[in-house]
Structures are given as C-alpha cells and as structure tokens.
Chains A and B, each alone.
Chain A
Amino acid sequence: MADITFGDAPDSVAGIQSRYMEQVQKRRLYGGLTLLIFVVLMVSGFNIADARNAGGFWEGLHQIGDYPADVLSEAWEKRADLPGLIAKYFPALIETINIAAVSTLIGVIGGLFLSMLGTRGLAKWPRMIPVFRRLSDVMRAVPEIVIALVLIFVLGGGPVPAMIAIAIHTAGALGKLFSEVAENADLKPLEGLESTGANWSQRMILGVLPQVAPNYISYALLRFEINIRASAILGFVGAGGLGYELRNAMAWGPGRFDEAAAIFILLFGTIVFFDQVSSRYRNRLTEGQTQ
C-alpha cells in the first residue's frame, strides 16, 4: 500500500485513493489509540478511587438505598403531618427563591457589563479586554460556597452573603456566555449608529442588545434555574432559606425525617416547576428566532 503512495502518477485516481486510504488508516490508528487511553484511564482511575475509598465501592453499593428508605418509611408513617410541614417551610422556600432571583438579576447586570467590555469589536477600552476577561474568569472560578463562607464569616449568617456570593458567580459565568453571543453579533448596525454620533452606551443598548436579547434572556433563565439549586445548597453553610432547614432536619437524624421529606418535596417541586416554566419560555425564544 505505502510503497505506491508517492509513486509515479500523483493525480491518478489510484494515487488519490491510496493517499486517502493512508490518511484514513492514520486517523483510525489515532482514534483507536485515543479510545484505548480513555479506557485505560477510566479503569485505572476507578480502581484507584475504589482502593482509596474507606468503605469500598462494591461493598457499599447495595446499601445505597438504605438512607432514602429510612427517610421514606418514616415520612410515610407520619404522612398526616406532611401538609402542615410543607406549609411551615413554605416561607423558607420563598427566601430561597428570593435569594436566587435577586442574585440572578444582579448577576445578569454584572454579566452584561463584563461581556460588553470584554468582547473584541464592542469593548469601550479595547486594551482592557484581557482585564475584564480575567476578571470574569476569576469570578466564576471561585465556587459560590467559598465566597459565601468568607462573607458569612465577615457579615454573619443570613441571606445577604448567599445573595452576594451567587451574584458574583453568576456575573462571571454569564459574562463569559454573553460575550460569546456578542462576538457573533453583526457589527454593521453599530457602525451605522456610530455614524450618527451615538456614544458607546447608546451603541450597545440600541445596536447590540436587540440582536442578542433572545440568547441573553435564555441564558439568564437557565442561570436562574441553576441559582435556585445553588441558593438551596448555600443554606447548608448557614445562609438561611430551605437549605438551612434541611440541614437541621437531616442533622437531627431519625425522628425528624418527616421534616426532611417535606423539605425535599418542596425543593423538588420548585425546581421542576421553574425548570418547566423557563424551558418552555426559552423554547419559545429560540423558536421565535428562527422564524
């Protein structure tokens, strides 16, 4: 095969065929090697993790249902209390959703500025683009829970540190997503606006935002879903809301599993509800775009 490859007639069909086959074989070899490395890494990684695990994966596997079973059986025994408990924890749920909503709103505004200032072609100060890009990198690289822990240490427990923590992370994450959308925006309308003497903010608001709005809203809604989960989790470290109550109920252990179950139901229901609402709305936005 190989010895006739670069032979006599490079432009004959046979020459093209053998050259292409050689390329295909090379590609298959690389593909096979990649797959092999992947499998080896997966298997060895799994074995290392399993060996280091205190309990062991295979020994623990059959116990995986034990805790949920305990919670469920106890909750089922006290099922008469559930509606009352759900009503009791409803204010905490509102607090969780409020944290998510406020932090999403602030994060979106922050993300807007970061994206406009960090996108080539749009930035007000082109030389500062790397600065704003790294800033949004840092903001989304630090986990919410770390920022929240620091802020709770400084400000004390409550919803405000959680809100600030989630807003910072959201601004960083949305700054990145928004600027990727903005990169694909058509620059001609901007030039048109600039020719009329519009300033930077006017150009961004009137030239860029109408182009990118459907995508931005879609990303913001997705972020809102994520933030509801995040704000529930932050409750575990003392930021209030549903997560705080859940941690208390779970830490008490058997005896208060009915409360844990009620909180789980609330959390599940809320997340499913907002997931459905926002995915329906996002679908409409993206479909509207193609029309």
Chain B
Amino acid sequence: MLQIAALTKTFGEKTAVDAANISVDAPTMIGIIGRSGAGKSTLLRMLNRLADATEGSITFEGEDITALRGAARRDWQSRCAMIFQQFNLVPRMDVVSNVLHGTLNKRSTLATMFNLFPRSDIHRAIEILDRLGIAEQAAKRAEALSGGQQQRVAIARALMQDPKIILADEPIASLDPMNAQVVMQSLRRIHEEDGRMVIANLHTLDTARRYCDRVIGMRDGRIVFDGTPAQLTTGVARDIYGAGADFSEAATSTEIETLDRTQDHPSVAYA
C-alpha cells in the first residue's frame, strides 16, 4: 500500500532523515517515536509533500508521490491529511468554516473566498464534529476553544478531506493528559471504524504502546526500530532515546499519575 524507499532529506550539512525504508501493506495505526530532532516531523512533512525529499521515493498504491507537481501534488495532499502539534487552524474563523477547509482542494478559489460551500458539505462538517463530540461548538470561533477542542477541530478538518492516510505530527504534545487521551482515542477510533491509515509522531513511549499496532523508532534521522509494541522492550527504548541505564519510561510518559510525579520532582524520574 505505502512504500517508502531510501527516503533522505538533508538541510545543508545536516541529514534530517537518512535513507528511511518503511513498507505498509494494510491500513495500520503506526506510531513513530524518538527524541525531538530525530527526523520524525521531517518524515511526515515529506509524506504530505509539505517538504521535498532530497533522495529516495514514496509510493502509494503504485503512484510515485515524490514526483508529483502542481495540481497533482495538491490532489495528493487532499488525500493525505495532516494534523499538527499547534493545531494550525485559522483562529478568527468559526469551527465549521475551519472544518470546511478540508474540501478546499475540490472547490474553486472564488467560491471559497466568499465562503460559499454547498449545504451538503456544511451538514457533513457538523456531523463529523458531532462524531468527535464538539458539534455544539460549531458556530464559535476556533480561537475561543480549548486546546483539546481545537485539536479535535483539526481532526475534523482532516476527516473532511476523506483521506486514505492521516498524518499526525505530535498531535498531543501541546495538550494536557486528559485532552491527550481524548485526541488519541479519536484517532484510534477513526482508524478502527473507517479503516484509514494513521501515522502519528509521538514522543512518549506509553502512548505509542497503548494506541498503535506498529511502532517505528527513529534516532538521528535513521530508523532504528520497526516492530510491534510488544517487541519494544526497555532496552530497545533506551537505544531509541539514546539514554543510559538510568532511563525509565516515566521520563517520557503522559500518564496523569507519572506526570504529576515527574512535574513535581523532576529528579525522581531519573533517580
């Protein structure tokens, strides 16, 4: 279904992603873990074609994604939705309008400029919002919502694109543990109910363990682990995070109990 072959991205001297090979046969929920700067975001941005690959190729259902240009590239982007850490909504527009932005690729510039979306699309947008449990916020401005609600609006925008793949770049890194749970559960539900492929960058181990079918570990641009959550032992995790024997999973946890502990006494987690 999705083949990534020897995908490389360099910024000047620095290699952000170094010859990544990933092959996915069926819609899966994949978590990519690693320290910040490991190249996780660059990998996702290349998949969405927000960034161009320096070398290598991405093939989706037989189509070479890296070679797409212009309208074909935008068409691919509409089939491959992206969710960002900072939500990346238009803050001054209402929630439904933000969700409707998911259809921009199919509409003309003039119609979207005057906010003329078909009634069926508006109804569908509100149904998607209802599915994510935030339909009552429909008419509010995006900026008036809490972080967790905004991220769900971003997921709704992604669903509005009706994509084959949903990419999530640190979707819960700016959220508190409760909202993080809601967002991750929404992503999991979308994967299970709609059969969409979800690839999420996560920097916490336990989230990847709990929600993903497959975990890919990156370190310094290279893929150092690719397997099931069960195969992800503490030793492997230490290797991915480049930590010594003092590493414990609590250090990368978003669990409410462990987080309380680590926030109050940062030294405890490393002790």
Contact = CB atoms under 8 A, between A and B. Distances in A.
Check if A and B associate. yes
Interface in A16-57: 16-17, 19-21, 23-24, 27-28, 31
A20 B136 contact: no
B114 A31 contact: yes
A13 interface: yes
Nearest to B137: A16
A13 B139 contact: no
A132 B267 CA distance: 54
Interface stretch (B5-13, B37-45, B121-129): B121-129
Interface residues of B, number: 14
Nearest to B127: A13
Contacts of A27: 115
Contacts of B116: 28
B119 interface: yes
Contacts of B96: 20
B127 A23 contact: no
Contacts of A66: none
Interface string B104-139: 000000000011100100110011001000011011
B144 to A, nearest CB: 15
A3 interface: no
A287 interface: no
Interface residues of A, number: 12
Contacts of B126: 13, 16-17, 20
A24 B122 contact: yes
Contacts, number: 32
A11 interface: yes
Nearest to B131: A13
Contact of B139 (A11, A20, A31): A20
Interface string A87-126: 0000000000000000000000000000000000000000
Nearest to B126: A17
A16 B122 contact: no
A20 B95 CA distance: 11
A287 B115 CA distance: 33
A160 to B, nearest CB: 48
A19 to B, nearest CB: 7
Contact of A16 (B114, B115, B119, B135): B135
A27 B115 CA distance: 10
B122 A17 contact: yes
Contacts of B139: 19-20, 23
Interface of B: 96, 114-116, 119, 122-123, 126-127, 130, 135-136, 138-139
Given A16-B130, A16-B135, 19 more contacts: A11-B136, A13-B126, A13-B127, A13-B135, A17-B122, A17-B123, A17-B126, A17-B127, A19-B139, A20-B96, A20-B126, A21-B119, A21-B122, A21-B123, A23-B139, A24-B115, A27-B115, A28-B116, A31-B114
14 contacts: A11-B136, A13-B127, A13-B130, A16-B126, A16-B135, A16-B136, A16-B138, A20-B96, A20-B126, A20-B138, A21-B122, A21-B123, A24-B115, A24-B122
Interface of A: 11, 13, 16-17, 19-21, 23-24, 27-28, 31
